[in-house]
Amino acid sequence: MGNASDTSATFESTISKEHDIFMGSLYSVFCILSLVGNCILLLVAYHKRSTLKPAEFFIINLSISDLGMTLSLFPLAIPSAFAHRWLFGSSTCQVYAMCGVLFGLCSLTNLTALSLVCCLKVCFPNYGNKFSPMHARLLVVGVWLYASVFAVGPLAQWGHYSPEPYGTACCIDWHAPNHKLSALSYIICLFVFCYALPCTVIFLSYTFILLTVRGSRQAVQQHVSPQTKTSNAHTLIVKLSVAVCIGFLGAWSPYAAVAMWAAFGDATRVPPEAFALAAVFAKSSTIYNPVVYLLCKPNFRECLYKDTTMLRQRIYRGSPQSDPKERFGSTLQRNKDLSISTRFSNGQQESYGACLHCNENAVPCHLTTPQRTACILSGSTYKEVAMNQLTVKPQADLL
């Protein structure tokens, strides 16, 4: 599946086969959850596209980024982990590493932009209310361009891509700064502009939001106007955004710590298992966004419930074993039969199971079934009697 260099020791796994199988199993679970969750989130967003708020554009972009990482990394990482070596050659290794950096940085930069937008809307509403969907789209394009600069850099000899220290995946060569100045400058810029700065902006944005909300809590509670519902929606988006950011940073921070240890410390002292475990946490970041938004955002849940209800109805309609019309028809007929009363010849009505020949104050008697009746004419009036009360010989006045 490649040239002779593909069989070199750099593509052999440096951790135990049991650990590789464990990683491959976890990656398989992450891949399925990420595919299902992000596809459902994008489908829900498509159905409610006309009512999306500008801040929700970044949630959609985050799902696109997570889906890109899932489709580009997991199909290569899973078989390599089970095979106990990298299977796809040095050229694919470079593309794999570039995709990992591109989608990873895009997600982090996207969350940074989201935190700024939330801060603008909550802390500076006069400016935040002017933030339109067009502004959001332009900012999303800027996010992808910003991430692309650092992803393409190693392909242009600014930095370097190589196999991961554990051997079954590829990423930035964290050992290169020890002997290459360009690689050192790339790692420093990457750490400052793609980790330290975004994390600082995210932390400060949500700190300002928290202080603003605390300071104006009484005013918000006493404020009753049509804008209250909008303010509540913005508050919910902020809470969910904080949850997504915490999940993402929690997933990537172990990898960043291990990478900085290898880049600026003694790389030979970093165990391959540390990189492998950190990579597992990093790849789990693709499942947090859909889980948080699909489970915690009411209008997303409502839209998802409507979609699944329609899908169930379509599947049920197409099932040859059950026809909804027949099922509902039989149910209605059964209810109708239970509610239809037996009509006597004098036009009065009696329900099934009612007591015959009982008055309101009488002791309840046994339930009887409807009986056949006949009308007996006596002069100008007639009366109704049960058939079993008639004599064997027919009466002359029997109608």
Model pLDDT for residues 148-157, shown as the tens digit of each residue: 999 999 999 8
Those residues with Cβ within 8 angstroms of residue 120's Cβ, 6 or more apart along the chain or in another chain:
127, 128, 131
Total of domains in the chain: 1
What is the 8-class DSSP label of residue 340? P
Q: Is 283 helix (H, G, I), strand (E, B) or coil?
A: helix
**What's the pLDDT at 373?**
60
Domain presence at residue 33: yes
**Contact criterion met (CB below 8 Å) for 168 and 16:** no
| CA–CA separation, 18 and 188 (whole Å) | 35
**Contact criterion met (CB below 8 Å) for 363 and 378:** no
**Contact criterion met (CB below 8 Å) for 131 and 119:** no
Longest CA–CA span in the chain (Å) reads 125
**What's the pLDDT at 387?**
57
The shares of helix, strand and coil residues in the chain, as percent rounded to the nearest 5, are: 70, 5, 25
**What's the pLDDT at 127?**
84
pLDDT, tens digit only, all 399 positions of the chain: 444 444 466 788 999 999 999 999 999 999 999 999 999 889 888 888 888 888 889 989 999 999 999 999 999 999 999 999 999 989 999 999 999 999 999 999 999 998 899 888 888 888 888 888 899 999 999 999 999 999 999 999 898 999 998 989 999 988 877 677 888 899 999 999 999 999 999 999 988 888 887 776 655 455 545 454 445 666 777 777 788 888 888 889 999 899 888 888 877 788 989 999 999 999 998 998 888 877 776 666 676 667 667 666 767 776 555 454 444 444 444 444 444 433 333 444 444 333 434 444 444 444 445 556 655 555 555 566 665 555 554 444 443
Which of 209, 42, 194 lies closest to 115, judged by CA?
Answer: 209
DSSP of 107-171: HHHHHHHHHHHHHHHHH-HHHHTT--HHHHHHHHHHHHHHHHHHHHGGGGTSS-EEE-TTSSSEE
Domain presence at residue 123: yes
- H or E segment to which residue 385 belongs: strand 381-386
**What's the pLDDT at 375?**
57
Those residues with Cβ within 8 angstroms of residue 309's Cβ, 6 or more apart along the chain or in another chain:
none
| CA–CA separation, 63 and 70 (whole Å) | 10
Tell me the CATH number at 122.
1.20.1070.10
Tens-digit pLDDT profile for residues 139-190: 999 999 999 999 999 999 898 999 998 989 999 988 877 677 888 899 999 9
Domain presence at residue 159: yes
Domain presence at residue 78: yes
Residue with tokens 């809590």: 217
**How many other CB atoms are there within 10 angstroms of residue 75's CB atom?**
14
**What's the pLDDT at 149?**
95
The torsion angles phi and psi of 377, rounded to 5 degrees, stand at -85, 125
| CA–CA separation, 87 and 383 (whole Å) | 98
Domain presence at residue 351: no
**How many other CB atoms are there within 10 angstroms of residue 51's CB atom?**
9
Boundaries of domain holding 175? 4-296
Domain presence at residue 308: no
**Contact criterion met (CB below 8 Å) for 301 and 186:** no
- H or E segment to which residue 378 belongs: strand 373-378
Domain presence at residue 398: no
| CA–CA separation, 383 and 209 (whole Å) | 85
Chain mean pLDDT for the chain: 77
**What's the pLDDT at 76?**
95
**What's the pLDDT at 49?**
82
| CA–CA separation, 45 and 42 (whole Å) | 5
Q: Which residues pair with 377 in a beta bridge?
A: 382
CA torsion sign, 23 to 26 to 30 to 31?
Answer: positive
Whole-model pTM over 0.85:
no
> Quick one: tokens of 48?
């409610």
Domain presence at residue 280: yes
Strands 373-378 and 349-350 turn out to be unpaired
Which of 105, 187, 112, 116 lies closest to 147, judged by CA?
Answer: 105
